[in-house]
Amino acid sequence: MMDGRATLRVPAPSRAPAARPRHASTDLAALGEPYLWTLGGCLALGIAMVAGLLLLVFWNGALTFWPQPIAVLELAGGERLAGVETRGGTYRPRPDVVAALPPTAQAVVAQNRGLVERTLYRTGNFDLYGDDFRWVSSFQIAGIQYPTDMLFVERLEWGVFIGRLRSFQVGAGEPVQAAVSDAAFQAAHAVARARAQSIRAIERHEIGRINNTLERERLGARRVAFDHGEGSGEHQAALARLASLTSRLEQDYAGLAREVERLKAMDAQDRARFADVGGREKEMPLSQIVRLYAANDLNAVQQVAIYLARWWEFVSDEPREANTEGGVWPAIFGTLAMTLLMVVVVAPFGVVTALYLREYAKQGRLVSIVRISVNNLAGVPSIVYGVFGLGFFAYFLGGSIDQLFFPERLPSPTFGTGGLLWSSLTLALLTVPVVIVATEEAIAAVPRSMREGSLACGASKWQTIRHIVLPRAMPGIMTGIILAMARGASEVAPLMLVGVVKLAPELPIDGTFPYLHPERSFMHLGFHIYDVGFQSRNSEAGKPMVFVTTLLLITLITAMTATAIVVRARLSRKFAGSQF
């Protein structure tokens, strides 16, 4: 206090420690990030698995018909082996086998921890070797060559032959040594193949037509006996007509039989002699050779030509060699016919049922039970439908039809056994729940205002459904039909009981009335895959056909569903954005 005045000192406020900045933090589980990544990973894994399966089928199926080179192996024991390399792998040989190997080979086996590489070769020549394939270990191979004169011969019987052409003979002439590329040999082979086709056409079509006519007349006479009594005037007249027709047709049959015998005698004289890599000879008719080529002497154009020719044979010809060779045209036709018949049946029944449940039925407990039952039917195993189809359609319904309309054919069944019609109806029952559910959802999605506006304008309920509801629900209905088509075309288990067979070269459609014969058995691509893959005498020989048939079945289903999707898209665009 210098000037006599008191000075008030205010203490400086104490500074509080600075607060740390707060950062908002949220648990990842609350944001759902782990679950999002898990779901995304599962989706990616599923897509990768489906893509991998399709890639595997496409790769193996697309390369099945590509001509592969023929390797000639010099084995350690002096034996020679010729074949096409199919696949390889490793195995662990027995200790006694390893002990018998040379020291250098034993050292290689020891270096590879006891594992040895081996390759599976398709050697063909089943009639000479009793087998089509042979495993060859790496230590057995002393040398590999690819000679240009080795031929890959596809035959009607006994599968593939791999060897060299020694000579060929036409008629009563002397055997002539020639190469497969010689014009004389190619001309003789073409003539022999055309002759074989003529024999087949006479036996199957012309002689078959005579047999069918005689059988039809015989059954007609038996039907007259059922209707008018045995020994009646009508029956005697029918027997007289049958005798006259039989006499005339027997003359035609005798002439055709003589022509077939003449062609077969000529066919037996045109022959070719081949030799395998070890010198064992095999003689075969030229007409039995489907295709032959020098596999190691092909340029790119020739390889493509053979590849396309094999594909054409596959989609247009009949199977042979226990379905492991040839084509699958009867199976393609059977799959398409069955699927189309199934769609014709399942579409109206499914749509009508859904319309009744959604638009007409009084909603209550009974309708709820019906809907639950329909949903449960979609989960019933397909083999159960097959048993039901066999018992109800084939035995009960088909047996009744036979007794009423085909008594003259009994005890041989006509409709009382499996066939194309019963298979289509069975699969229609299998897939109708899908159509019902999809149709109900599509109908329910149509705005109620459109219904009310139509009714307010004076339209009846059926007119409203027909002109307002159904057109706008049609894309959803098509979705159900697409799903039903895809499932029905790929089902196999029910078909094994109600009509599909291993081999049915005769199509269920021909030039005789009523042209379409739904009572006949048929072939199916799905069952063809099962038969070749699991019922073949040689699984290795059938494996390429399994992949290529699977590829064809996927392509066929994709084409049918794509067509339906295009129709659905057009319907969707037609009514897109339309307001009442």
Examine residue 26 and state whether it is found in any structural domain, yes or no: no
Q: Which residues on adjacent β-strands are paired with residue 155?
A: 289
- CA separation for the pair 507, 521 (Å, rounded): 9
- Dihedral sign (CA 512, 517, 519, 520): positive
568: pLDDT confidence band, cut at 50, 70 and 90? Answer: confident
527 lies in which domain range? 329-575
Examine residue 257 and state whether it is found in any structural domain, yes or no: yes
In this predicted structure, the answer to whether residue 579 has a pLDDT above a threshold of 50 is no
Examine residue 309 and state whether it is found in any structural domain, yes or no: no
Find the CATH number of the domain harbouring 343: 1.10.3720.10
Same domain membership, residue 471 and residue 380:
yes
* Confidence (pLDDT) at 196: 92
CA 309 from centre of chain: 20
* Confidence (pLDDT) at 155: 92
Cα–Cα nearest to 548, from 55, 50, 61: 61
* Confidence (pLDDT) at 235: 86
Cα–Cα nearest to 425, from 364, 494, 490: 494
Q: In the predicted model, what is the mean pLDDT of residues 258-279?
A: 92
Decide: helix, strand or coil at residue 361: coil
- CA separation for the pair 513, 518 (Å, rounded): 12
* Confidence (pLDDT) at 9: 57
pLDDT, tens digit, 9 for 90 and up, residues 322-370: 788 889 999 999 999 999 999 999 999 999 999 999 888 888 888 889 8
pLDDT, tens digit, 9 for 90 and up, residues 304-313: 999 999 999 9
Same domain membership, residue 181 and residue 151:
no
Question: In the structure encoding, which two tokens stand for residue 147, read together?
Answer: 């000679």
Same domain membership, residue 364 and residue 264:
no
Could you give the residue ranges of the DSSP H alpha helices within 356-445? 365-377, 382-388, 399-405, 420-444
Same domain membership, residue 458 and residue 537:
yes
Boundary residue ending a domain (138, 162, 186): 162
Examine residue 66 and state whether it is found in any structural domain, yes or no: no
Same domain membership, residue 265 and residue 341:
no
Cα–Cα nearest to 320, from 542, 85, 84: 542
Backbone phi and psi for residue 412, each to the nearest 5 degrees, phi listed first: -75, 125
Q: Which of 2-6, 109-113, 201-205 shows the lowest per-residue confidence on average (mean pLDDT)?
A: 2-6
Helix (H) or strand (E) holding 72: strand 71-75
* Confidence (pLDDT) at 334: 92
Same domain membership, residue 499 and residue 360:
yes
Examine residue 106 and state whether it is found in any structural domain, yes or no: yes
Examine residue 505 and state whether it is found in any structural domain, yes or no: yes
Same domain membership, residue 395 and residue 442:
yes
Question: What mean pLDDT is reported for the chain?
Answer: 87
Same domain membership, residue 383 and residue 427:
yes
Count CB atoms within 10 A of the CB of residue 266.
16
Boundary residue ending a domain (269, 286, 305): 269
Q: Which of 274-288, 338-352, 366-380, 530-544 shows the lowest per-residue confidence on average (mean pLDDT)?
A: 530-544
Domain count of the fold of the chain: 3
Same domain membership, residue 154 and residue 195:
no
Q: How far are the Cα atoms of 130, 218, 400, 551 from residue 410, in angstroms, in the given order? A: 44, 13, 12, 42
Same domain membership, residue 187 and residue 123:
no
Q: In b/e form, how buried is each residue of 445-478, taking b as 16+ CB within 10 angstroms?
A: ebeeebbeebeeeebeeeebbeebbbebbbbbbb
14: pLDDT confidence band, cut at 50, 70 and 90? Answer: low
- CA separation for the pair 160, 200 (Å, rounded): 22
In this predicted structure, the answer to whether residue 482 has a pLDDT above a threshold of 70 is yes
Same domain membership, residue 434 and residue 350:
yes
Same domain membership, residue 178 and residue 150:
no
* Confidence (pLDDT) at 503: 86
Boundary residue ending a domain (142, 162, 182): 162
CA atoms in the 13 A half-sphere facing the CB of 63: 8
Examine residue 307 and state whether it is found in any structural domain, yes or no: no
- Tell the residue number behind the tokens 């030799």, with chain if given: 275
Examine residue 139 and state whether it is found in any structural domain, yes or no: yes
pLDDT, tens digit, 9 for 90 and up, residues 174-210: 888 888 888 899 999 999 999 999 999 999 889 988 9
Q: In the predicted model, what is the mean pLDDT of residues 276-284?
A: 91
